[in-house]
Amino acid sequence: MRIALILIGAALALAAPFFVYPVLLMTILCFVIFAASFNLLLGYVGLLCFGQAMFLGLSAYIAGQILKTTGISIELAIMAAALVSAALGAFVGFVAVRRSGIQFAMITFAFAQFVYFLLLQSEFTGGEDGMQGIPRTHLFGIIDISDSRTFYYFVLAMTVLAIFVVYRVVHSPFGEILKAIRDNEPRVESLGFRPERFKILAMTISAGLAGFAGALKATVFGFATLTDVSWTVSGEVILMTLLGGLGTLTGPMVGAGIIILMNDELAQFGEWALIAQGIILILVILFLRRGVVGEAGALVRRMKARRAK
């Protein structure tokens, strides 16, 4: 059953660019990674980072700057930018991680605003105008992937890689400790661990992944803007994750897909996109506590249980 679903998903992902505008698909994929990075913290450690966009946006500018000024191969630029975001994540984690709940959220929010301000003021980012003309250099320095359909497959491969990383972390010995921290942090401490250290590493990994998404996004669009660092994007990723299903691997992917498609459809109506998001958020909170994927899973389990009787 699961394998069948994966195969169908793979077939759809491979065929999609022949039916749908590749840039839209690639946007979805970038946000799939971004939402997965956020879910790693909220869903598996219980940390609500209300500034996840700082990792996305910073990395987009860093990757852009590297590509524009050095011309090194694309995968190296993306990796380097993701590492910068990971370092920022480690630093923010170091400061914020002793706090929990709303305090943690506010500290991360403050950091994100600060990063926004720095990027707005910096020369290299182009301030309000953003950074334009980010080139798609060759993969491994030799393979030309600049054509948008080819590039889609590159982004798809990167997404699979990123999701595999999340899967690996969540289902690792370290991941088991993270889930324990989420469920009962004082208990983990009383068992001889120092939860704050685990949380810092989780933030580092999460920020690295968010940065990976941001760098990829910059190469998709060929530009980076302040929108990627803005608090609305930090909020949007929360919505994606909750809508799809917190603490499930596929939930954030589904949530990212729905929100991006919806934004795309509603773009022509301006502010309506925001209003629709607000309404969705309310509906999810009221009726879909576990998100689309979580509720679907619960439904399947209920049906199985009924059949077993």
Which residues bind to other proteins, rule: CB under 8 A? Answer: 168-169, 171-177, 179-180, 182-184, 186-194, 198, 201, 205
Nearer to other proteins, 153 or 174 (CB): 174
The minimum distance between CB 222 and other proteins, in angstroms, equals 33
The minimum distance between CB 89 and other proteins, in angstroms, equals 14
Check if the beta carbon of residue 251 is closer than 8 Å to that of residue 291: yes
Q: Name the residue with tokens 């209920």.
A: 302
Check if the beta carbon of residue 56 is closer than 8 Å to that of residue 213: yes
> Residue 146: CB partners within 8 Å, gap ≥ 6?
136
Nearer to other proteins, 45 or 63 (CB): 45
The minimum distance between CB 176 and other proteins, in angstroms, equals 6
Check if the beta carbon of residue 255 is closer than 8 Å to that of residue 291: yes
In this structure, the number of other CB atoms found within 10 A of the CB of residue 1 comes to 6
Nearer to other proteins, 45 or 213 (CB): 45
Check if the beta carbon of residue 193 is closer than 8 Å to that of residue 179: no
Nearer to other proteins, 149 or 194 (CB): 194
Coil, strand or helix: which one is 143? strand
Q: Name the residue with tokens 């966009």.
A: 53
Nearer to other proteins, 186 or 270 (CB): 186
The minimum distance between CB 221 and other proteins, in angstroms, equals 31
The minimum distance between CB 294 and other proteins, in angstroms, equals 13
Q: How far apart are CA 266 and CA 65, in angstroms?
A: 32
* Joined tokens for residue 122: 């910096």
